[in-house]
Amino acid sequence: MARTASLLVVVLGVFVAIVLVTFVVSKTGFGKYLSFTKSFVFAPESQIKESKGITNILVMGKGGQGHDAPDLTDTMFLISLNSVSKKIVYISIPRDIWAPKIRAKINSAYYWGNQKEAGGGLILAKSTVEEIVGQPVNYAVVLDFNIFERIVNVLGGVEVNVENSFEDDHYPIAGREEDLCDGDPLFLCRYETIKFEKGTQKMDGVTALKFVRSRYAKGDEGTDIARQARQQKVIEAIKNRALSPEVLVNPWKAIQIYSVVTSSIETDIDMNAQAVLARKALSARDNVWSYSIPEDLLQNPPISSTYDNQYVFIPVGGSWSKLHEWISSLIH
């Protein structure tokens, strides 16, 4: 598999720089700053949850406000950080995996958990994914995709390389989710047409968000794989811009970015654990591997009431044991 920059490294790397600058320029929180700095420098194992040197983090992206299903986590992946071998493994988790634990697709675990209790989304999502991947999930992070629009605007725009031209005539218009469109049975007034031309272009926040969220483009760009690739392109563009000298030496920019990040991310990783994980992730930044679950480990059963008449993936042979073995061989 090809090496790739992990979203975790991007988020933690930028987060570390921003947090340090924020605490330095603020008049409060100096004690927290010292604690964070100490954890980052010395990286004590006792500050993080791990098993045999491995910490697993479930990272999820939800649609957020303006999306027709704001709390479904259509982007999911497992980040495994091995502090012994100094390796990071990134494994994409298809949103359509059927999870018997919740009798629904895996991308709805976060939603159903939140229906039970405040903060229950992270708990249920972690336990549901644990059964699928066969590994303990120590932490979870949920990113609202609206973070793309807000952080890109703070940065003053980003340069993104559009690999393929595409058009999506079914992009949802925020605020019109319940519009009856004067009786139009197709509800066409709820959607707009967006177009992107091949080549490098500067995107503002609104444009970047449309670029990463487009789901109904014609051709290959309409697949989930293509959408994930576009998300990675914008993430890389954000990283490059956020870590540019122009931004890093600007304390006000750093504070703005920090505010956007902390308001758009939900996590059960406390600050000291963030510092330790950031240090370990940065130490392993040259040994990052990205994988997708092999197709021969998944099967698509006929649509039936067994799976609520939905398109889903289930394990070949009826057991996740082979997937467990595959994942274990990657992260150790």
Asked if residues 168 and 214 have their Cβ atoms less than 8 Å apart, the reply is: yes
Asked if residues 74 and 228 have their Cβ atoms less than 8 Å apart, the reply is: no
Return all residues near 94 (Cβ < 8 A) that are at least 6 apart. 106, 224, 293, 298, 313
Q: What is the per-residue pLDDT for 66?
A: 58
Asked if residues 209 and 238 have their Cβ atoms less than 8 Å apart, the reply is: no
pLDDT tens track of the chain, all 332 residues? Answer: 333 333 444 444 444 444 433 333 333 344 454 455 555 554 556 678 898 899 999 989 887 665 667 789 988 889 999 989 999 898 989 889 999 999 999 999 999 999 988 889 999 999 999 999 999 999 999 988 777 788 899 999 999 999 999 999 999 888 888 899 999 999 999 999 999 999 999 999 999 989 988 989 988 898 877 887 888 788 778 878 887 888 877 878 877 877 787 777 888 988 788 878 877 877 887 888 888 898 899 999 999 999 999 999 999 999 999 999 999 999 98
> What domains can be seen in the chain, in order of their start residue?
7-146+250-331 (3.40.630.190), 155-242 (3.40.630)
The first and second tokens of residue 299, run together, are 């099967």
DSSP 86: T
Task: Provide the edge-to-edge strand list for the sheet that holds 139-144.
Answer: 265-267, 139-144, 54-62, 75-82, 87-92, 288-292
Indicate the residue type of 4. T
Q: What is the per-residue pLDDT for 43?
A: 52
Question: From start to end of 150-256, where are the E strands?
Answer: 158-162, 166-172, 191-196, 199-203
Q: What is the per-residue pLDDT for 73?
A: 92
SS3 311: coil
